[in-house]
């Protein structure tokens, strides 16, 4: 899915600088979330977004400047 971005050294570096984990995600990174969602531990969880993104959404770099939000 991100093959073109990963293959572009300039763009890949720009993106990796904004991911707190400092690396691209792998399929294995989803294992814990999948096990949780398939288990009884998630029986009372509904309507939530479980973000598996290396910290991207929780970082300052994911926040859009106000001028983009108000467009």
pLDDT at 2: 80
Does an H or E element contain 36, and which?
helix 31-38
Q: Is the pTM of this model over 0.75?
A: no
Which residues, 6+ apart, have CB-to-CB distance to 6 below 8 Å? 12, 24
pLDDT tens digit string along 4-48? 889 999 999 988 988 999 999 999 999 999 999 999 999 999 988
Please tell me the distance from the alpha carbon of residue 61 to that of residue 37, in angstroms, as a whole number.
28
CB 45 within 8 A of CB 2: no
- Which has the higher per-residue pLDDT, 14 or 65? 14
Residue closest to 8 by CA, chosen among 22, 16, 63? 16
């Amino acid at each position: 899915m991100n093959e073109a971005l990963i293959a572009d050294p300039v763009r890949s570096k720009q993106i990796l600088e904004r991911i707190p984990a400092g690396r691209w995600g792998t399929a294995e990174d989803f294992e814990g979330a999948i096990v949780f969602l398939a288990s009884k531990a998630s029986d009372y969880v509904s309507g939530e977004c479980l973000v598996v993104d290396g910290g991207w959404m929780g970082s300052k770099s994911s926040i859009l400047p106000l001028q983009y939000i108000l467009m």
